[in-house]
Amino acid sequence: MKPSANPRTRIVCFPHAGGTAGFYQAWGPLVPDDVELRAVRYPGREDRLVDPLAETMEALVAPTVAECLPLLDRPLALFGHSMGASVAFEVARRLYEVHGARIAGLFVSGRSGPGRESTPEQAYSTASDVELVEHLKELGGTDAAALDHPDLLELVLPAIRSDYRIVEEYRAGHTGAVLDTPVVAYYGDDDDEVDAGSVAAWASVTRARFTARSFEGGHFYLSDHRAGLLRDVLSRIGAPAVT
C-alpha cells in the first residue's frame, strides 16, 4: 500500500466483508513517510483470485498472524472495518496470547464489540444473488461497477458469500479482557448495524484505555471522513497526518 524504507511505525488494515486491500489505497497520501501502511489481502480477490476461499475466521487469522510477526520490529497498529474489525481483534489477541506481542493500538470500525454481535435478520451468505446485491448497494462500500456487471459479479460474489458466512458464524467467545493495548472504536452515527451501546462492548476486551468516537454517516462513514478518521488514528500512535 505505502512502504517505508525505515518506518517509525506500521499500520495494517483489514477490509470489510467482500472488501479488498484496495479499499485503503486512498489512505496512502494521507500517511506520513515514516508510517508504513499495509492492507490484508483476503483469498479469492485481487491478486489472490484463484486462492481457495476462507471458510472460517481461523483461516483468515492464522496466516495473517504469521505475516505480522516479522513486522513487530517496529510499533504495529491494526485497523479493521466491519468484518475486518473482528479479524483484526483476533489477530491482536493471537499475537498477545501466543507470542506475547503487545501492539501499539487496535482500531475497530463499524462493528459491535464481542458479546454484542447481532444475528442478521437474513443469512446473506445463502441469499439469492438479487437479495445480496441489493443489500450490498444499500450498505455502500462495494464497487458499484462490479455489482452491475454480470461477468464481474460472477467473480466477486463467491468471496462475498464466504465472508458473510464467516461473519454469521463468528462469535469471539472470550471472557474478560484478553488484550493489554489501547482500543479505539469508530462508528457512523446513522449505521443500522451498530450503535453506541454495542460499540462500547469493545471496552471489555482490554485492560488498557478504551475510546469510542462517532462520525456522521452510515456503515461506510469512513469513505466520507477518510482524512478526519486517519488523522485521529495517527494522533493516537503519535504520528501527524499529512496536510
Exposed / middle / buried, residue 59 (Cβ in 10 Å: 0-12, 13-18, 19+): middle
**End-to-end Cα separation, the chain, in angstroms:** 19
| Catalytic residue flag (residue 82) | yes
Place of cell 466483508: 17
Residue 40 has what DSSP assignment?
A: -
Q: Dig out the grid coordinates for 41 from the structure.
A: 489481502
Degrees, nearest 5: CA angle 8-11-15? 170
Using CA atoms, how far apart are residues 28 and 242, in angstroms rounded to an integer?
10
What DSSP state is assigned to residue 206? B
DSSP label of 5? S
Active site residue 225: no
Which listed residue (82, 112, 162, 198) is catalytic?
82
Enumerate the active-site residues: 82, 219
